Structure 1
Amino acid sequence: MAMVALVAIVGAVGVTVAGQAMAAPEVTVDRTGRPAAARAMWVWDTSDPQAVVSLATARGIGQLYAAVPPHVDSSPKLAELQELVALADAAGLRVDALGGDPGWVDNPTWVVTNWLQPTLATGLFTGVHVDIEPYTTSAWTKNRKAVVKKYLATLDLLGTAAAATPIEADIPFWFDEIAANGSTLDREIIRRTDAVTVMAYRNRADGPDGTIALAAAEVTAGGQLGRPVRIGQETNFLGTDPTEVKQTFYGMTLAQMNTQLALVEDAFSGSSAFAGLAIHDSLGYAAITG
């Protein structure tokens, strides 16, 4: 899908001429075609826009996935998002609208009316980034085939409704093992979107259970289908079980994390599909130092 202009009114400054208040010309920002960055970051908590942008600029993050609630036009979060995007504009960062819920697959028309359309109407965002995760529901276990069908139909409807606005989706690394439409679910999602971020959450890059091995199938699929693939990494506390510990850089130093990220980047540097890394999320990442 091609980019279109998303022009947002940042604000207008009032001036006084001959004792009479006059409105200055509206200041606009054209975010058309703002390119994807080599590193992105999920921002679920938008309550401190300055902290988010400061973190991003300090650590080489060029793209933000900023959480947007339904009915954002009437939400108190709108002011936070306007401030975040204004600061991001000044810092040269791209901001995409982040949203998603497993229940979306049961009523995608509601999603279009109550989330997508109000979000795009703000003019704040370059693209849309969805994190739906229908596999977290009991329905996935009971009737996975039906859920997969609804999931893909949801992406189809969102893509149609978004028109030329680019849409990206988060997918787990194991979607290459799920059959769908005579293919695999990862490939069916890649076909329906402009890009994907594969959640290959491991705190080691190498080895049979490392990030590189887990993300390889999706990067290959992206190359074959002509779509960019970003690789997601986790920083939040997930639990104390060894399976949970290995999925996150929580408890490690920033230097240790950067060493592993560099190995991932190097492993996929020759792939035309590899679009960089995405860090989950701003709060967890900010807590990693040293």
Structure 2
Amino acid sequence: MARDRGRPGVRARLSAAAAMLVLMLMVGSVVLSAQSSTAATTSGRAMWVWSWTDAGAVVQLAQSRGIGTLFVGVPPDLATSPALPTVRALVTRARAAGLRVDALGGDPGWVDDAPWAVDHWVRPTIATGLFTGLHVDVEPWTTPAWTTRQSTTVSRYLTLLDLLVAASGGRPLEADIPFWFGHVTAGRKSTLDTETMRRVSAVTIMAYRNTAAGPDGTLAIAAGELRTAAALGRPIRIGQETNDLGADPAEVKQTFYGQTLTRMNDQLAQVDSGASAYATYAGVAVHDATGYAAMAP
């Protein structure tokens, strides 16, 4: 079944060298311009950080744009990974700046091998003692089985969440979900958004639009999930995209790529204003650090 991407199935990540170049070039303009262009309420704002080479540039970007929480990409077997020093450097610097840092990970393959995800991602990540919580982005709808055996895939996905939560040792576990999970059946009498929210501590709803208002704007497509989260008492963030998704109109409307930071902040202010009517709204999450840093004032 064709679905609007909550966010790209193949993540828009630049190479480490490209990420460093973008962050280093743009951070100067961030410091000068962001204070005047972030008049929108930024309480609770978060940012995905999939790749980086300069921890200082990431933290400075977050501080200049009112980001309070980082979702930091963590590889498998972090405790013994060569990436550990790089991850530790970013987490240490972010915490010193007063930022919350959650470990970010996930892969569609986890649905078919939940024990592997627990043994090779959750437990080694927790063992480092670096993170406040866990943030997972699994995207089961990108697997071939989603089309051929959707009910089975849904069941396996929920079982995965159960195991991840059980292995988290009481740490909060947040999940990324698309805005259309409310239209996916889970069992006989429930939906996938409801069942996901019942299991995890919070969700980030990938309601990717570059316009807040209107029948196809962020607020409209996120409304169902905002209602569900409020009814269940689950904190919910609204994800917004800044990377290049492609030239097709259906892709262009999902991202602020190519637009100014000023226009994005205006739209995010409208999102915050509209979504704050829901009791458990927890703010905007920006995908991701590389795309966000590259935006012109």
Using the size of structure 2 for normalisation, the TM-score is: 0.84
- Letter of the 1:236 counterpart: N
Alignment counterpart, residue 156 of structure 1, candidates 152, 157, 162: 162
Q: What residue ranges of structure 1 are gaps of 5+ in the alignment?
A: 1-36
Alignment counterpart, residue 128 of structure 1, candidates 131, 134, 144: 134
Q: Which has the bigger relative contact order, CA under 8 A and spacing at least 6?
A: 2
- Letter of the 1:275 counterpart: A
1:75 aligns with 2:69: no
Q: Write out aligned runs for 1:247-266 (5 A).
A: 247-266=254-273
Match of 2:291 in 1: 284
Q: Secondary structure at the match of 1:250?
A: coil
- Letter of the 2:183 counterpart: E
- Letter of the 1:289 counterpart: A
Give the Cα–Cα distance (whole angstroms) in 1 for the partners of residues 275 and 253 of structure 2: 21
Displacement of 1:46: 3.2
- Letter of the 1:237 counterpart: D
Match of 1:52 in 2: 58
Displacement of 1:75: 1.4
Give the Cα–Cα distance (whole angstroms) in 2 for the partners of residues 289 and 121 of structure 1: 39
Structure showing greater radius of gyration is 1
Counting helix residues as a fraction of each chain, which structure ranks higher? Answer: 2
Q: What residue ranges of structure 2 are gaps of 5+ in the alignment?
A: 1-42
1:190-225, Cα deviation, whole Å (9 max, x unpaired):
000000000000000011110000111111111100
Q: Secondary structure at the match of 2:134?
A: strand
Q: Secondary structure at the match of 2:135?
A: strand
Give the Cα–Cα distance (whole angstroms) in 1 for the partners of residues 58 and 147 of structure 2: 37
- Letter of the 2:196 counterpart: I
1:168 aligns with 2:174: yes
1:18-75, Cα deviation, whole Å (9 max, x unpaired):
xxxxxxxxxxxxxxxxxxx610000000322111101000100000000000011121
Contact 1:96 1:125 in 2 (8 A): yes
Q: Write out aligned runs for 1:209-228 (5 A).
A: 209-228=216-235
Contact 1:220 1:273 in 2 (8 A): no
1:133-169, Cα deviation, whole Å (9 max, x unpaired):
0101111011111000000000001111112111000
Q: Secondary structure at the match of 1:198?
A: strand
Q: Secondary structure at the match of 2:180?
A: helix
Give the Cα–Cα distance (whole angstroms) in 1 for the partners of residues 95 and 177 of structure 2: 28
Contact 1:95 1:126 in 2 (8 A): yes
Using the size of structure 1 for normalisation, the TM-score is: 0.86
Displacement of 1:85: 1.0
Displacement of 1:278: 0.1
Match of 1:105 in 2: 111
Contact 1:39 1:61 in 2 (8 A): yes
Contact 1:202 1:210 in 2 (8 A): yes
Match of 1:268 in 2: 275
Contact 1:44 1:67 in 2 (8 A): yes
Give the aligned CA root-mean-square deviation in angstroms.
0.8
Match of 1:20 in 2: none
Counting strand residues as a fraction of each chain, which structure ranks higher? Answer: 1
Give the Cα–Cα distance (whole angstroms) in 1 for the partners of residues 160 and 150 of structure 2: 15
Give me the identity figure in percent: 59
Match of 1:19 in 2: none
